Structure 1
Amino acid sequence: MATTTYKRPGIFVDETLNPIVVNEPPAGEFVAAFVGTHDFGPSKPTLIRSWAEFVSLYAGFSGGSMLPFAVHQFFSNGGRSCYVVRAVSADAKTASLVLKDRQSGTGENSGAKDVLRITATAAGTFANSLAVSVTDSGTGPGRFNLTIKAGGDTAGGAVERYTDVSLDPTDARNAVALVNAPNTGSKFITLTYLGPTTWKIDNTPAVTVDQTLAGGTNGAAAPDLSAAAQSLESTNAVLNINLPGVSDTAVLNPVIDWCERYGYAFLVVDSPQIAEGTPTEAAVSKLKELSPLVNGGTTPAPLRASSYAAVYGPWIQTADPAVAAVGATRLLPPGGALLGQFARFDVDHGPHRTPAGQDAVLRGVYSAQYRFTDAQLDELNVAGINVIRFVPNAGFCPMGGRTVKAGYPDRYIAVRRFLIHVRKLLVESTGYAVFQPNTPDLWASLTAVVTQRLTEMTQAGQLKGGSPETAFRVVCNETNNSEATVANGEVHLDIGLALMRPAEFIAIHIGQWEGGSSSSETLQ
């Protein structure tokens, strides 16, 4: 609201422009998320929209990490946006830098004093290469430009600039507020004002060029990948998660537990990397160790039986994006490419569709580490391992759509992901009802809102049945909202869905018919 004092009658117009805010994905839409170790970049969940943005924030391929390869494969396979979480050691230290002000003179006020602390947003030695420059903006006393460079000098890769800012707490372009803003602020640093409560023009950082932060260390403890994955709950998003190259069940099982508690996350697990030269039979046994459907032992322990996780393997041979040599290839875990296909299928079809088969050709894949026989494929499918294999006239495709949970119907990836999608969509759609008067009018309103959402899904072909009457049912009335539940502040909706299930097995029956006698053959 304008603070101008108006002195004459008339109409007065003010303009107020808010900072550009990153648009969040629509309710119920899955977003990919990658969690892993890396030697550069933010550690909190960060949404990125292109490989170029990943390079600017995480410096691309470095340190032997699988994280950048998974992100690159994701965007190469149709992904549009993803969260990245860089896991750091608990004992890692954060780099910082203190800037002096511009005070001069004599007596107690003589000499420059500390005015601004700059702290890296994430721990690690990478922040020791962050360089900060302060220049005069030329727009008035006490105003300056702040530049952050990654790389330690003017040749640094990632650059952030905050122009015409001030440390005056009453200024609309207060540097601390702009840099520390949760959504639009810096990805690399936070600011802390160290000057006196009553700001003066002299409490402006002195001009400096490419002064680097210091004190950052990587630490000796192993990063907690499980805790890093669970930090994604702060996004409140519907997630497809992958920990690139991680097949350790001690790490993955806590993540699966969290996926179930959170209710809006699905975990795509990379199969173990098999040593070169390992016989195919031994590779099959190694992949099956992850499956709780066939491995009932504890050494090694399998994944926890859950419909919130699925395993894909074997690893895939792709063009090596980290080197410029023509024809160079690299063996990579499949999770990044698969999450790209998940994202593409969600846009083209919806979460009810299994991202598998010849419509889900993995781009840039030259081969899979193993080619299994039909008998071995039978073993792996029964174990719930979704195998990537060559499909004639298509390419290398995921040829499986099962979770690591036995039973029906949520043994299918498509069913579990669709239920996650529906849950989020209905929670977002009915949030308005909280604290509304708990009366039949509210029940009717909720019924109408939910019916509309489910009707849209039916019309989009996401539910079984050609009409709302056969595709779903919604009950929210006196039959499931008694006086006791109303007195307790509760509203109950009972929803039934006719779920779609994938066609896994195509059986073709070929028969010969000649004047009353016949013979037949069944192909699958």
Structure 2
Amino acid sequence: MPDYQSPGVYIETVDSGSRPIEGVGTAVAAFVGFASKGPSEPTLVTSWTQYTASFGESFAGGLLAHAVYGFFLNGGSACYVVRIGGDGAAPAPAPQAMLGSFRIVAKELPEGDGGDISVEVSELPQAEGEQSQEERFAIKVKRDGKVEETFEFPPKSGKGTLATAVRQSKLIKVEEAGAELAKLEPQAVTLTAPPPAPVLPAKVTPDVYMGNEEQRSGVSGLAAVDEVTMIAIPDLMGAFEQGAITADEVKSVQGQLVAHCANLQDRMAILDAPPGLTAADLKKWNEGLGLKSMWATLYHPWIKVFEPQRGMRLIPPSGHIAGVWARNDATRGVHKAPANEVIHGAIVLESQLTHGEQNLINPTGVNCIRVMPGRGIRVWGARTLADASEKQWQYLNVRRLFNYLQESILEGTQWVVFEPNDDALWARIRRTIAAFLVMEWRKGALFGLTPDEAFYVKCDRETNPAESISRGMVVCEIGVAPVKPAEFVIFRLAQMASGTSLVSE
């Protein structure tokens, strides 16, 4: 208290007794995979443009780019990317040639699509009766001597530079090397665009995926990033599909990924199954995987997406699923099961699952992706891989809700450390946590007509006996009733003498 020496009116700011708890983020994903360039430590990416600038534009070889693109397409806003299988060195510069004061640069092409690219500029004759004093040029882009693209400069709109005139080109891009081109003259340049080095190595071991925590590499390096709430390794199945890793090694990596999530207890593993599996095959794969864990989810089947340079391509769904989780968290909240949600970017599924086939694999914890007539391609499952002894954690939204609550309370009560351990402190703890849980109850995250039915907070002499206080411990007991998804909706229709009655459960 200040030492007052003279008469007057004084104002003091005092502590209100409770400090609000702010909910932590729940929609930060992490992706581990192969890229043509970029750093090997976890790197925050907040847009697709930022990803391409850091890790390259190519979809060739690996599946990391597809996963990140699907994440942002489905509503994700932030993720960490960990590049594996490379030293982070910059790739060789793209082939280029000068065209006046413009630099013609060959775009990165898919593996096997290289060739000799030439750019030919010819003057266009003026149309009959045209009085324009401006010369017009045709720009022909050839690959191996065959014209594949043709552009006009200046554009028909009369606006734009040479760079904008060829912006739709899939083979070249134009960079200004100096001042704006004053005059374009008929000429031709040739540049060789070899295919990029394969992103995916011919052989890869589980250690490459797991990395090293001290070196901040691989999955292990993500232990230092507390914001991450979900992890996917799309390139694991890409390597398996190409024979770069064995089935047993895949199971080893997935097991270590789940162990990583279980040890930290603040993130979930999104697993992919191999492509081409029937429902019966998938059940065997899941049983052979042996991962009965509340910290993991498994989705099936693979989805087909459009790749600008190759057309339709089959990819594992984990990246798109992570985006669906993020979108669901933003629009409804982490307590809402991320299911019955459309997967944006998925054009068709690898296989059409029937109701009977889902009956076979749903009890094992596999989340199906199905085509709903008139409603698009949707996620039709929200379960973890928890075993029978962990039935209370079988629903994904329940596990993620508790992750959110425990992390929020953990970060929002750091002020308690080293405070005097007495009744006043216990009362402040109760008020702080109760205020936070009331807000969550109002959002619909907790079950109950009143807050008393939805949760309780106990921090008093019963939870803090003298022995506990002597050891410097404050014990607060919290119980919450989470909302669970209406996974099975049953309508019972009974005929009555006076008509028809509809009863729902």
TM-score (norm 2): 0.67
Which residue identity does 1:240 align to in structure 2? M
Question: Does the CA-based 8 Å contact 1:43-1:85 persist in structure 2?
Answer: yes
| TM-aligned CA distance change 1:447 to 1:329, over 3 Å | same
Does the alignment pair 1:262 with 2:264?
A: yes
Give the match for residue 51 of structure 1.
Answer: 48
Q: Normalising to structure 1: TM-score of the pair?
A: 0.65
Larger mean CA deviation between 500-509 and 223-232 belongs to 223-232
| Correspondence list, 1:325-474, <5 A | 328-357=311-340, 360-407=341-388, 408-474=391-457
Where structure 1 has 5 or more consecutive residues not aligned to the other structure, the ranges are 1-24, 93-122, 132-152, 158-217, 275-281, 296-300
Quote how far apart the aligned CAs of 1:37 are. Answer: 2.2
- The separation in 1 between residues aligned to 2:418 and 2:105, in whole angstroms, is 56
Q: Which amino acid aligns with 1:377?
A: Q
Q: CA deviation at 1:469?
A: 1.1
The counterpart of 2:236, out of the listed 243, 246, 249, is: 246
Aligned sequence identity (%):
30
Structure 1 residues 507 and 435, CA gap change in structure 2 (3 angstroms): same
- SS of corresponding position for 1:427: helix
**Displacement of 1:452:** 1.1
Q: CA 1:221/1:505 → structure 2, altered by over 3 Å: closer, same or farther? A: closer
Provide the residue aligned with 1:225 in structure 2: 209
Please say if residues 314 and 387 of structure 1, whose CA atoms lie closer than 8 Å, have aligned partners that are also in contact: yes
CA RMSD of superposed structures (Å): 2.8
Q: Deviations over 1:332-358 (max 9, x none)?
A: 11111111110001111111111111x
Asked if 1:306 is matched to 2:301, the reply is: no
Conservation of the 8 A alpha-carbon contact between 1:252 and 1:303: no
Contact residue 271 and residue 312 of structure 1 kept, 8 A: yes
Distance 1:129 1:491, change over 3 A: farther
Q: Secondary structure at the match of 2:90?
A: helix
Letter in 1 for 2:283: K
* Aligned positions, number: 363
Give CA deviations for 1:331-385 in whole Å, capped at 9, x if unaligned. 111111111110001111111111111xx11112221111122221100111211
- Asked whether the 8 Å contact 1:38–1:63 carries over to 2, the reply is no
CA distance in 1, matches of 2:503, 2:278: 30
Query: What one-letter code is carried by the residue in structure 1 that aligns with 2:369?
Result: I
CA distance in 1, matches of 2:504, 2:432: 46
**Matching residue of 1:64:** 61
Please tell me whether the aligned partners of residues 390 and 397 of structure 1 are also in contact (alpha carbons under 8 angstroms): yes
After superposition, the Cα gap between the structure-2 partners of 1:379 and 1:521, relative to the gap in structure 1 and judged at 3 Å, is farther
Match of 2:275 in 1: 273
**Is the contact made by 1:226 and 1:252 (CA closer than 8 Å) also made in structure 2?**
no
- Cα distance in 1 for partners of 2:339, 2:28 equals 18
DSSP 3-state at the match of 1:237: coil
What is the CA–CA distance in structure 1 between the aligned matches of 2:106 and 2:371, rounded to whole Å? 43
Looking at structure 2, the residues matched to 128 and 61 of structure 1 have their Cα atoms a distance apart, in angstroms, of 12
- Identify unmatched segments of 5+ residues in structure 2: 1-21, 95-102, 108-200, 212-217, 238-249
TM alignment of 1:174-253, pairs within 5 A: 222=205, 224-227=208-211, 228-246=218-236, 248-253=250-255
Amino acid at match of 1:471: A
| Structure 2 Cα separation of the partners of residues 385 and 522 of structure 1 | 31
User: Do the aligned partners of 1:238 and 1:421 also contact (CA within 8 Å) in 2?
Assistant: no
Q: Give the secondary structure class of the aligned counterpart of 1:452.
A: helix
**Alpha-carbon distance, 1:63 to partner:** 4.4
**Over residues 362-411 of structure 1, what are the superposed CA-to-partner deviations in whole Å (9 max), with x where a residue is unaligned?**
11222111112222110011121111001122100010011111342210
1:84 corresponds to: 81
Report the Cα distance in structure 1 between the residues aligned to 2:427 and 2:25, rounded to whole angstroms. 23
Matches within 5 A, 1:148-187: none
Task: Tell me how far 1:522 sits from its aligned partner.
Answer: 10
Give the 3 Å change call, closer, same or farther, for CA 47–364 of structure 1 in structure 2. Answer: same
What code does the residue aligned with 2:252 have? A
Aligned-residue offset at 1:86: 0.9
Matched, 1:511 2:494: yes
For 1:62 and 1:376, the matched residues in 2 are separated by 33
Higher relative contact order (CA 8 A, sep 6+): 2
Q: Map Cα deviations across residues 96-144 of structure 1 (whole Å, 9 max, x no partner).
A: xxxxxxxxxxxxxxxxxxxxxxxxxxx15x436489xxxxxxxxxxxxx
CA contact (8 A) 1:454 1:472 kept: yes
Give the secondary structure class of the aligned counterpart of 2:446.
coil
Does the 8 Å CA contact 1:272/1:286 hold for their aligned counterparts? no
Structure 1 residue 447: Cα displacement: 1.2
The residue aligned with 2:99 is none
CA distance in 1, matches of 2:437, 2:427: 15
